[in-house]
A and B are shown apart, each in its own frame.
Chain A
């Protein structure tokens, strides 16, 4: 019998139910046993004083390119969904199982891999979705090589429907994007960068929404970067199509101007777009058109970043900055606190069918203790993760994770 633990004197936020009240949370082993909001904490429980801070489910990060355990814990990410484009592409059950086993053994952030949608992510033959699903894959995607052949996509979705598997399709028409890597606009024209028009995103969303309608499969668009992309999602949702989508903090904070001076640290895929797009994305999160916020974490070494824009790797190390950056939108009253938290915990958990992201009895005891008001400045020296490539260097933010608890065990703590 596991020891009963009580996390007392906390502000309990449960995004799954929308409740926000003071009390204590009881856990036993790796599970939540229940909450005590007005009553006695059972005698004999091992208590931890949360000192009035927020106790809520750890973040469920639906899109990360790497597993960075230290960075995840420091950023309050307790569940991490790994992209399948690893050194060896995850397109069969064996690597899925290996990643799940390694995650269990290592402790720390719980890693669930996505599998490739097609064999070798070639966009030609359907990968072994069923067996990967049995081994623990939570969704299927060809990453930044979206399935471009509509016939293959249709069959893929029809097959996925049979298992109620989630298909994740990166929204970028590869032909239209060509060799582009920046938003097609004033900045890319002036700096001489190859641009990608917004239409490349919208076309892919609209086509795949139609195929989702045709097949009845569940479709998720991992990163929406534009206003028109948000409108396309909204139109599809209004038609009753089973479509969800996400975005990442950098799209909510930065626009194309971040590339000024050839700052490759702001190079991401899809590219940062115009100010109008950025504002529309925030509204999309606020009104729920955008369901989730993911980190889109991708650690890059200096060697792959300090290159001319065309050659530099795209990506931001964002596991540690996600929560604070989203909270700054809450502080500036752009997004409601509960909506922001749902987008990072309960909603991704329910899309993926995971037993986390909630304070319900029986859910995994993956928790964070958070003070949304603590000020700090994003800086290389305070980041814990392996890679520090961030365009937010020296930016002041508010809100820090004080403790990260995975499976009922406190694994990260700052005093």
Chain B
């Protein structure tokens, strides 16, 4: 029997009450409830374990989301996030299609909303969107019938990155509550920093921002964090250091005198790390600028660096997101017999 999909407008259907994830989309970590965050992290944890097993969970998860269509719509260049979403979707059996600016008709002058409506007419089940403008993903989410995952919008949010960071920390430290976590680098232009701040503070971690004042929002204290301009003070006694990439492509105007000076004062080295806790965890969302924000020997420190694990957790978190956001469709997908 073919399930009836016509006229089903997801945006008109309220999420069933009592759900552990009472949202249609994942647009950001702002405003998420700790129980919701925990639910997503727990689900991702399960996928992380499966991904580590010999068959990468193939037998258990075979075709869990088979028949569902995932479109990755990337208006901004990305390699690792896009691949991570593709792998996550395929591991769950989804039909995954990726579209980047180079191949899309945005170049031919089509407006953002027209692109969204065109894709919507093809009836995807999940849209994964990255866009260079803050709020663009939220705008698109209002115009489509399917679940939308924000894969990064401007300086606003990059929620899956925050979830994979949180999962990595939780696996290494066993908890999030009570940890002191320093985020260092170009905070003002960073969507990763924003998503992490909301998520980590919601889970009861203490977040510090450590950066030169030109790379911090002027009202950073309003974000519920402690602000430091000096690495030695900022890293003192922390459990986790999260380095951000210096986004040189966003640097219009004079934010810094030189990369050399930046590394001298704010680059993460073993010496600066000495004031942190002994078992400090070093993280970086990538791609790294070695010798600019992080010294190679820190990045490659087997005991402290969790950078590779972050990438690994990325796939697990994205599998969890795809799974959770399509809960109401999974029944339909299996009814269709997953003929593909």
Instruction: Name A's B-contacting residues (CB within 8 A).
Output: 178-179, 184-186, 189-195, 197, 261-262, 303, 306-311
- Partner of A192 from B155, B219, B222 at Cβ < 8 Å: B155
B133 beta carbon closer than 8 Å to chain A: yes
CB pair A262–B113 under 8 Å, yes or no, is no
A–B pairs, 28, beta carbons within 8 Å: A179-B252, A184-B218, A184-B219, A185-B219, A189-B219, A189-B220, A189-B222, A189-B223, A190-B30, A190-B223, A191-B134, A191-B156, A192-B134, A192-B156, A193-B135, A193-B155, A194-B155, A195-B218, A197-B218, A262-B135, A262-B138, A306-B113, A307-B113, A307-B139, A308-B153, A308-B154, A310-B134, A311-B133
Query: In the complex, what distance in Å separates the CA atom of A190 from the CA atom of B29?
Result: 11
Query: In the complex, what distance in Å separates the CA atom of A268 from the CA atom of B293?
Result: 37
CB pair A309–B135 under 8 Å, yes or no, is yes
Query: In the complex, what distance in Å separates the CA atom of A111 from the CA atom of B252?
Result: 41
Within 8 A of A (CB), among B227-256: 252-253
Q: How many residues from B make CB contacts under 8 Å with A? A: 26
Query: In the complex, what distance in Å separates the CA atom of A111 from the CA atom of B156?
Result: 43
Query: In the complex, what distance in Å separates the CA atom of A59 from the CA atom of B153?
Result: 43
Q: Considering the complex of A and B, which 4 residue pairs feature the smallest CB-CB distances, nearest first?
A: A192-B155, A192-B156, A308-B133, A262-B135
Query: In the complex, what distance in Å separates the CA atom of A261 from the CA atom of B133?
Result: 14
Within 8 A of A (CB), among B136-150: 136, 138-139
Digit string of B122-138 for contact with A (CB within 8 Å is 1, else 0)?
00000000010111101
Taking the closest CB of chain B, its distance from the CB of A199, in whole angstroms, is: 10
B275 beta carbon closer than 8 Å to chain A: no
Q: Main SS of chain A's interface residues?
A: loop
Q: Which residues of B contact A178 (CB under 8 A)?
A: 252-253
Q: Which residues of B contact A193 (CB under 8 A)?
A: 134-135, 155
Given A179-B252, A189-B217, A192-B153, verify A308-B222 contact (CB < 8 Å).
Answer: no
Q: Which residues of A contact B86 (CB under 8 A)?
A: none
CB pair A308–B134 under 8 Å, yes or no, is yes
Instruction: Name B's A-contacting residues (CB within 8 A).
Output: 30, 111-113, 131, 133-136, 138-139, 153-157, 191, 194, 217-220, 222-223, 252-253
Q: Which residues of B contact A192 (CB under 8 A)?
A: 134-135, 153-157, 191, 194
Query: In the complex, what distance in Å separates the CA atom of A303 from the CA atom of B110?
Result: 12
Taking the closest CB of chain B, its distance from the CB of A211, in whole angstroms, is: 26
Query: In the complex, what distance in Å separates the CA atom of A211 from the CA atom of B217?
Result: 33
CB pair B138–A261 under 8 Å, yes or no, is yes
CB pair A191–B135 under 8 Å, yes or no, is yes
Query: In the complex, what distance in Å separates the CA atom of A262 from the CA atom of B154?
Result: 13
Query: In the complex, what distance in Å separates the CA atom of A182 from the CA atom of B262?
Result: 29
Query: In the complex, what distance in Å separates the CA atom of A309 from the CA atom of B222?
Result: 22
Using CB atoms, name the residue of chain B closest to A197. Answer: B218
CB pair B139–A308 under 8 Å, yes or no, is yes
CB pair A309–B113 under 8 Å, yes or no, is no
Query: In the complex, what distance in Å separates the CA atom of A178 from the CA atom of B135?
Result: 20
Q: Which residues of A contact B136 (CB under 8 A)?
A: 308
CB pair A262–B139 under 8 Å, yes or no, is yes
Q: Which residues of B contact A190 (CB under 8 A)?
A: 30, 194, 223
Taking the closest CB of chain A, its distance from the CB of B194, in whole angstroms, is: 6
CB pair B218–A309 under 8 Å, yes or no, is no
Query: In the complex, what distance in Å separates the CA atom of A56 from the CA atom of B253?
Result: 52
Using CB atoms, name the residue of chain A closest to B189. Answer: A192
Taking the closest CB of chain A, its distance from the CB of B152, in whole angstroms, is: 10
Q: Which of B30, B134, B157, B253 has the most chain A CB within a 10 Å cutoff?
A: B134
Using CB atoms, name the residue of chain B closest to A303. Answer: B111
Using CB atoms, name the residue of chain A closest to B222. Answer: A186
Q: Which residues of B contact A262 (CB under 8 A)?
A: 134-135, 138-139
Query: In the complex, what distance in Å separates the CA atom of A309 from the CA atom of B131?
Result: 12
Using CB atoms, name the residue of chain A closest to B133. Answer: A308
Query: In the complex, what distance in Å separates the CA atom of A185 from the CA atom of B219?
Result: 6
Q: Which of A186, A190, A194 has the most chain B CB within a 10 Å cutoff?
A: A190
Q: Which residues of B contact A261 (CB under 8 A)?
A: 138
Query: In the complex, what distance in Å separates the CA atom of A185 from the CA atom of B220?
Result: 9
CB pair B219–A308 under 8 Å, yes or no, is no
Query: In the complex, what distance in Å separates the CA atom of A193 from the CA atom of B138?
Result: 14
Q: Which of B112, B113, B155, B194 has the most chain A CB within a 10 Å cutoff?
A: B155
Query: In the complex, what distance in Å separates the CA atom of A309 from the CA atom of B132?
Result: 11
Taking the closest CB of chain A, its distance from the CB of B76, in whole angstroms, is: 12
Taking the closest CB of chain B, its distance from the CB of A196, in whole angstroms, is: 11
Q: Which residues of A contact B218 (CB under 8 A)?
A: 184, 189, 195, 197
Using CB atoms, name the residue of chain A closest to B253. Answer: A178
- Partner of A308 from B30, B112, B253 at Cβ < 8 Å: B112
Given A189-B223, A192-B194, verify A308-B135 contact (CB < 8 Å).
Answer: yes
Query: In the complex, what distance in Å separates the CA atom of A194 from the CA atom of B133?
Result: 10
Taking the closest CB of chain A, its distance from the CB of B188, in whole angstroms, is: 8
Q: Which residues of B contact A191 (CB under 8 A)?
A: 134-135, 156
- Partner of B133 from A189, A303, A310 at Cβ < 8 Å: A310
CB pair A307–B222 under 8 Å, yes or no, is no
CB pair A307–B220 under 8 Å, yes or no, is no
Using CB atoms, name the residue of chain A closest to B153. Answer: A192
Known: A189-B220, A307-B139. 8 other contacts (CB 8 A): A186-B219, A189-B217, A189-B223, A191-B135, A192-B153, A194-B155, A195-B218, A308-B112
Q: Which residues of A contact B253 (CB under 8 A)?
A: 178
Query: In the complex, what distance in Å separates the CA atom of A184 from the CA atom of B134?
Result: 15
Q: Which of A179, A189, A306 has the most chain B CB within a 10 Å cutoff?
A: A189
- Partner of B134 from A186, A303, A309 at Cβ < 8 Å: A309
